[in-house]
Structure 1
């Protein structure tokens, strides 16, 4: 692979060029995890955050970057997923089942997203993320998920497609 030319770089994001193609990359991570978590009560656990690039609130599966912080360098994908689930939602997973690994946006970034299905959940705290994050945790009954999504969209929020992908990959029909 040719060495990319650095066009611009900050602590969190860089813009690079190979040949005629410009793309972005995170200097500290090329991987992200997303976690499908369903409670024993058949509620999907989703998170909501204001996403600056979208200038809107986005409903998502719990997620995070892999190895982007020094203390988590070398952490496995599954361990990253466990940590992010606990930080964002307050749930600890007994089992973390890989669902898929896929390019996040192959024409724009080198990042891959690894989706997991968290099982055997135990609630330890209220979640909400770490310092600097403002995460709202939602528990949504699977039986009412489609209507809940419609209501959220009507309120101006965006729904991340990874929710649908993770449900389909886990064989959960809503």
Structure 2
């Protein structure tokens, strides 16, 4: 992005609000490569999802396992390594490898963040998951066949469903290779 005419309106520890011409948007101060989203399906044809409280939306959100490419695994950690690490931390499942299936902007009208989607291959459950000590993550294993109804039921209970979950379902059901 051309930042020559970029005015910083406010800078925080992790984000900053900027203006370019008449356009205001948020930039990540950390994780310039963005975030990873992991599409992981067990041998039992269950999509792995996580649930956690998200203060910006004031409630719990059902999401794909995900994380920022911010060097938590070391300064030279690749997006692929981030995906593998985050999958295990959040869900308790280890994978043999990941395969990138998409990269694109998260919310191009308000943020410069990009997401890279990976399909996790050859899953093995190695722990209960739940994230790091600072996180409160609930792991869900949802049958691919029942996922749309399950997600609708969670929404009826008042939970939010991140729209990227539906992209995960698309890849899990239409592109299983």
Q: Give the TM-score, by structure 2 length.
A: 0.91
Structure 2 stretches of 5 or more lacking a match?
Answer: none
CA deviation after TM superposition for structure 1 residue 166, in Å: 2.2
Residue aligned with 2:117, SS:
strand
Structure 1 stretches of 5 or more lacking a match?
Answer: none
CA deviation after TM superposition for structure 1 residue 29, in Å: 1.2
CA deviation after TM superposition for structure 1 residue 171, in Å: 4.4
CA deviation after TM superposition for structure 1 residue 23, in Å: 0.9
Please tell me whether residue 65 in structure 1 is matched to residue 71 in structure 2.
no
Q: 1:92 aligns with which of 94, 105, 122?
A: 94
Residue aligned with 1:168, SS:
helix
Please tell me whether residue 141 in structure 1 is matched to residue 143 in structure 2.
yes
Q: How does 1:41-52 map to 2 (within 5 A)?
A: 41-52=44-55
Cα distance in 2, alignment partners of residues 135 and 17 from structure 1: 35
Deviations 1:98-145, CA, capped at 9 Å, x for gaps? 110000111111110001110100111111111211000001111211
Cα distance in 2, alignment partners of residues 90 and 170 from structure 1: 19
Residue aligned with 2:132, SS:
coil
Cα distance in 1, alignment partners of residues 132 and 3 from structure 2: 37
Structure-1 residue corresponding to 2:122: 120
Q: Give the TM-score, by structure 1 length.
A: 0.93
Please tell me whether residue 101 in structure 1 is matched to residue 89 in structure 2.
no
Change (3 A) 1:2 1:26: closer
Cα distance in 1, alignment partners of residues 174 and 45 from structure 2: 11
Residue aligned with 1:67, SS:
coil
CA RMSD of aligned residues (A): 1.5
Residue aligned with 1:17, SS:
strand
